[in-house]
Chains A and B, each alone.
Chain A
Amino acid sequence: MIAFLVRRLLQAIAVMAVVAFCAFFMFQFVGDPVNQMVAEDATEEDRQYLRESLGLNDPIPVQFAKFALNAAQGNYGISYQHKRPVAALILERMPATLELAITAAVIAALLGVPAGVYTGLRRFGFTSKLIMTLSLIGISLPTFLIGILLIYLFAVILGWLPSFGRGEVTHLGAWETNFLSISGIKSLILPAITLALFQMTFIMRLIRSEMLEVLRTDFIKFARARGLHNRAINYGHALKNTLVPVITIIGLQLGSLIAFAIITETVFQWPGMGQLFLQAVQVVDIPIMSAYLIMIAFFFVVINLIVDMLYYVVDPRLRIDQPGGGGGHG
């Protein structure tokens, strides 16, 4: 277990180094930031001065070393556009995105898992077929369209929920939360559902196919032959055996939820990191783009690490260094 963790940590560090290198290289290839920053009537001396002060004239290895060192300390430089430290900009926006992504993940799991179990168990039932057909909508409609349809229905026609923004947020230290005010929660509902819909149908279909697979196994047949209660068989024995692939997917999906909340944030003008990133792309604000890239990679690496450790919790066959393995002959 320890050896495994150390190995995984080293891998994670290697991944982060590669990502940092890519993020750094964006500076070399994506346009000349100086053009975006100086006034139109700036002289060549002004430009040179700016280049020098931004460190853009140093040799490339020196630039990367500086960059990596700073990045590891959470210092991603100054945004060209906002003229403020990137780390602070991102941290300000992070609570909005994280709350949205986590709410969406919880909705997706809470509805997706039972729906998957249900459709797996009652494969030929009418309700199952209905759910499966409806899920095609979630799988195939693009997120922005679902967002716009939801806004049209619930904000424009019914007027129940706000169509954009975070509403009223409560400050908990540096963290701004949606969860502590009615207006905040109401604002969260539509974007969270929009973001969750695809994940929910995805989880549901995954669990369904895994359940169908597991329900055919001999140990389920044997559990039935022992007269165990259906509940114990379906949830205790079958569902638990679907968990390893499901945890993997849900973990990766949580990463995607954070990374790809961009579209939902744009549709709902949600003041999160995605919006910050999109603005940065439009004005070639490379420090923000590279910091965003590094941060998303970091989320994926951390989530993967957690998923790998959860395997150990779920599946005893992976705990190989437990005493008494093998042995015994019949």
Chain B
Amino acid sequence: MTAENNQPLLSVRNLRIEFPTRRGTLVAVDDISFDIAPGEILGVVGESGAGKSLTGAAIIGLLEPPGRIAQGEILLEGRRIDDLPYEEIRRIRGRQIGAIFQDPLTSLNPLYSVSRQLTETIQTHLSMNERQARERALELLEEVGIPGASERIDHYPHQFSGGMRQRVVIALALCAEPRLIIADEPTTALDVSIQAQIISLLKRLCNDHGTAVMLVTHDMGVIAEAADRVAVMYSGRIAEIGPVQEVVRAAKHPYTHGLMGSIPHIGHHVDQLTQIEGSMPRLQEIPPGCPFNPRCEQVSERCYVERPNLQVAEKSEVACHLFDAPGLEVRAGD
């Protein structure tokens, strides 16, 4: 929580991502802003299609065409990186911003040994000879907890289990000691028993190296476990962002409320889990005003016409008309 006194490591300002299609332009991410402080773990949570992964891809410059950044800027340590020429953003990828993707089974090239993939990445970013790179690769594998790393380093990806492969992926992302890691659903494809191990490994490594993480997931449990702050995304916008305790324990946005209500708690007996009626609108059907208005239980006239902006509410920021300062009929929290 050093965001207040230091310059943020990453700063996303008014980012808007569009997909031009024949039937008009789809806005997948609509005017979002957030910061990540050095060493901080920011959880980004939301349903599929909320724009979480696209935001991550935009930060490392890997938006797939025809998707494009239509507006806004992305700053890494105060330097704008969203408009860099290809070669410069390539040098940032892996060196300053690492990435981990969802499926460890398919993230590794099946035809190359783990050592070859590690040394290739290391030598791309650091000036090391073959032997030094191999030593570093071995250290990394040991650090991510691969048992018998010195024997397994020359094995091929198919010789590792899913959880082990995700450890290799993490080692690859850490190769050149990046300041920030974009982890896009890093545990979704793994067994539940392994998910917790990978999350705690990621948390420990980032703590040791002072690496910040943007942890994209739809799993609130993962967020509660690992994140310092959390951003809740809905229909390409940030609904609520704040310290993880605050958002989990005292959710403000009705959508966040619904999300928290849908998590089962051990010890609390409930007959039925709460669920949010309806589903997130498709990109071409986002209603005017607040995108959550068709599903919101506390909807008012204003929500259909005016889009709520993020505003401070206690320790969080929330985009909901219920928290408008001058709006007198505010019902804080309930």
Q: Specify the chain A residue showing the minimal Cβ separation from B91.
A: A227
Contact at A222–B107, with CB atoms within 8 Å? Answer: yes
User: Chain B residues near A315 (CB, 8 Å)?
Assistant: 110-111
A237 to B121, CA, bound (A): 12
When the two chains form their complex, are residues A218 and B101 in contact, meaning their CB atoms are under 8 A apart?
yes
From 77 to 121 in chain B, residues with beta carbon under 8 angstroms from any chain A beta carbon are 90-95, 98-99, 101-103, 106-113, 120-121
A241 to B110: give the CA distance in the assembly, Å. 8
Query: A227-B90, A314-B111 in contact; A330/B197 too (CB < 8 A)?
Result: yes
| A330 B190 Cβ-Cβ under 8 A | yes
Q: Is the CB of B120 within 8 A of A328?
A: no
Interface centre among B91, B106, B197 (most CB of A within 10 A): B106
Residue of A224, A227, A324 near B159 (CB, 8 A) is A324
Q: Check: A325 CB closer than 8 A to any chain B CB.
A: yes
Q: Is A316 an interface position by the 8 A CB rule?
A: yes
Chain A residues near B120: list those with CB within 8 A: 228, 232, 236
Q: Are A324 and B146 in contact (CB under 8 A)?
A: no
Residues of A within 8 A of B107 (CB): 218-219, 222
Which segment, of B132-140, B164-172, B284-292, B322-330, faces chain A? B164-172
> Which of A225, A324, A329 lies in contact with B155, CB distance below 8 A?
A324
Main secondary structure of the interface of A (DSSP, over half): helix
Among B146, B156, B169, the residue within 8 A (CB) of A316 is B156
Please tell me if the beta carbons of A327 and B159 are within 8 angstroms of each other in the complex: yes
Cβ contact within 8 Å between A227 and B95: yes
Which residues of A are found within 8 Å of B94, using beta-carbon distances? 225-228
- Of all chain A residues, which has the CB nearest B158? A317
| B310 interfacial contact with A, CB 8 Å | no
Is A221 close to B, CB under 8 A?
yes
Question: Is A94 positioned at the interface, with any CB of B under 8 Å from its CB?
Answer: no
Count residues of chain B with CB under 8 A from any CB of chain A: 52
User: Given A226-B94, A226-B124 in contact, is the A328-B160 Cβ separation under 8 Å?
Assistant: yes
Task: Let me know if B161 and A329 touch, CB within 8 A.
Answer: yes
Q: Are B152 and A219 in contact (CB under 8 A)?
A: no
Contact yes or no, B159 A232, CB < 8 A: no
A223 on interface, CB distance cutoff 8 Å = yes
The verdict on A53 contacting chain B, using a C-beta distance below 8 Å, is no
Asked if residues A222 and B156 are in contact (CB atoms below 8 Å), the reply is no
B145 CB to closest chain A CB (Å) equals 9
Residues 44-82 of B at the A interface (beta carbon under 8 Å): 60, 62
Contact of B98 (CB < 8 Å), options: A226, A325, A329: A226
Q: Which residues from chain A contact B232 at a C-beta distance below 8 Å?
A: none
Chain B nearest CB from A167 CB (Å) reads 44
Chain A CB within 8 A of B151 CB: yes
Quick check: B146 and A225 within 8 Å, CB to CB? no
Q: Let me know if A330 and B113 touch, CB within 8 A.
A: no
Question: Could you say which residues of chain B place their CB within 8 Å of the CB of A223?
Answer: 109
User: In the assembled complex, which residues on chain B have CB atoms less than 8 Å from the CB atom of A325?
Assistant: 158-159
Contact between B124 and A232 (Cβ–Cβ < 8 Å)? yes
A227 touches B163 (CB 8 A): no
Known A219-B107, A228-B124, A325-B159; 13 more pairs at CB < 8 Å:
A219-B106, A222-B99, A226-B94, A226-B173, A227-B94, A227-B176, A229-B90, A317-B156, A324-B151, A325-B158, A326-B159, A330-B165, A330-B167
